[in-house]
Structure formats: C-alpha cells, structure tokens
Amino acid sequence: MNPSNYTRYGSTIERPLQIAQIIIIIPNSFCVITGNILNLVILPSLKKTNESTKIYLVALAVLDLTTGLLNAVFSIGAAVNAIWIYGNICCKIVGLMYIATCDMALLLLLFMAIDRFIAIVKPLRYTALVTRRRVLISLLVSVPGFPGVLYLLGTVDKAFDNVYYIPALATCMVDSANPEVASVVLSAVFILVFFPIVAIATMYGYILVIARRAVRKINAQMNSVSEQRSTFSRQEWKATRTTLIVTGAFMISWMPFVLSHIYIVMMKNRLQPWVTFVMFTLPVCNSWLNFLVYSGMNTEFRHRLRFLCSSTTLCCSRRVLENQATEWSP
C-alpha cells in the first residue's frame, strides 16, 4: 500500500496540528455517537411531537450518527498515525459519504421546512396533506440526491477519482483545488446547497411573519373546539421553533466549510492546514448539537432522558448488588 497515491496537500502535518486532531476528534466522535444513540432511543417515544417531525428528526439522527461513526472508525486512526491506513478504495468511499450525508441532511431540512410551512400556513389541511406515506417517500427521495446530481452531470467517475486523503482533515475529501472537478464542485454546491438554502430561508421567513397571526386567527375561528385547536397550534409552533433552530445550527456549522470549497475553486489556492481543520470540525460538531437543542427546548425529551438515565443507573446498581451478594454467599 502506497499512501502517496491518494494523499493531497502534503503527506505529513505539523506535530501540534496532529495532537490537536487527536484531542478534538476523539471526544467529538464520542459526543456524536452517544448523543445520537440517545436521540434514536428517545425521539420515537415522544407523544407530544407529531409523527412527521419525529420521522425527520430520527432520520437526521441516523445521518449524524453516520458522521460520528465515520469519524470514530477512520479519522481517529488517521490522526493517530498521521497517515491514511485504510486503503485507496475505502478513502474514496469515505470521502463521498461525508458529502452525501451532508446533502441528505440538507434535503431533510428542506422537507422539514415544507412540513412546518404546511403546518403553520395550512393547519386545517395539514393532516390531509402530510401523511406518513408521503413523509417516507420524501426520505427515499433524499437518499439519491448527491449521487443523482453527479450522474446527471456525468461526473460520477471524475468525482470518485478526485477524492484524496487530506492530512489537515484527518480524512478523505474531494480535492476542490483540482481544475478537473472545479465545475463539478460549483454545480453541486449550487444545486445541492444554495437552492435548498434559499427555499428553506424563504419558507421560514414567511412562517415567522405570519405564524403568530395565523395562530390567533385559528383560535378565534375554532371556538367550538378551541381547547383542541389551541393546543394543536401551540404544539406546531413549538415544533417549528425546534426545527428552525436545528436548521440554523446546521447552516452556521456547514456554511464555512462549503464557502471554503468555493474559495478554493475560485482562487485555486488551498487554505492553511489549521484553517482547513477548523472548517471541517464545525460540521462534525453540528452532529451532536441537535441533542443539546432537543434537551434544551423539549420538556418531554428532558423528562424521558432523565428517566432513561435514572433507570440505567438503577439497573446497574442492582446488578452490582446482585454480583456482590453472589460473591458473599457461601
């Protein structure tokens, strides 16, 4: 195995940067994996959150968990050894998976925005328009997003061939500075990033303008079932706030990384290794931020988290006591 065949930006990195990678990547991976496992356990059991929102949040947790596993399985080993040790094919797959998970997450956020838009703007038709079947179909649509765009652009082989190990990232990624993929990167960014962002921003902007007025109007019109509708409206608004914060955190975390790739393509000039590493660390951190968002904004999520932690602690304590009793028994 010759690592130089698939290494870009130099085959070695400075020792301080390598130490920083190890110190940051290991706890980051732990937080991502632990937080999203808890998300996958708790989110499906929430009774006050509507089904479509839960499905999207669970799917988002799966993607975040995938990012954490990629980091834990591959980036830690690469950071410790200061070189890619998993082979060329694995490098190509990992590099494209990072980009694919980002694209799928953004498409999920787009579908979540559409879901919230309908819930706030067309609340009386929400249950008819947003069904479980349609939500699941939207999940299936998000899966082939990135590969589908590459196929339409006729650049699947070109993208695959231009994934290299980037020591500053401690992982593999598409080499945006390569002129061969410059047009691919710009086209993919426009189709898969900017278009969804504009659509999401437009819908949430409209929601924020009319949400309060819509809630008051619905409550006034539905006096006969005011209690039920008022509760519905409040719950929908809380769900909208949660998804809005999740979306905002995603944008803030990923945009520097996306813009850095645009800068590399346009200027044909790579960033400094430390800057490159920070730009990539922010999106990875986003993969565990959602757990903090749910814990901070959803009372039911916090209650179930406390119950889960207390039950686990109690179970562990009982096992310890049972083992001690077994050891002491004659």
Q: What is the DSSP string of 90-143?
A: HHHHHHHHHHHHHHHHHHHHHHHHHHHHHHHHSGGGHHHHS-HHHHHHHHHHHT
Per-residue pLDDT, averaged over 292-310, amounts to 87
Task: Please report the pLDDT score of residue 228 as a whole number.
Answer: 46
C-alpha radius of gyration, the chain, whole number: 23
Q: Out of 31-45, 94-108, 113-127, 151-165, which region has the weakest mean confidence (pLDDT)?
A: 151-165
Please state which architecture CATH assigns to domain 3-302: Up-down Bundle (1.20)
The Cα–Cα gap between 31 and 80 comes to 19
191 CB-near residues (< 8 Å, 6+ apart): 149
C-alpha closest to that of 55 among 117, 119, 133:
133
Q: How many other C-beta atoms lie within 10 A of the C-beta of residue 302?
A: 14
DSSP state of 224: G
Per-residue model confidence as pLDDT tens digits over 182-223: 777 777 777 778 888 889 988 888 888 876 675 566 556 655
149, two tokens: 């765009």
Per-residue model confidence as pLDDT tens digits over 126-163: 888 888 999 988 888 877 665 555 544 445 566 677 78
What confidence category does residue 58 fall into, taking pLDDT thresholds of 50, 70 and 90? very high
Q: CA-CA-CA-CA torsion for 143, 146, 147, 149, nearest 10 degrees?
A: 120
Q: Phi and psi of 29, rounded to 5°?
A: -60, -40
DSSP state of 130: S
Structural domain spans, the chain = 3-302
Residue 27: burial class (beta carbons within 10 Å; 0-12, 13-18, 19+): exposed
The Cα–Cα gap between 194 and 198 comes to 6
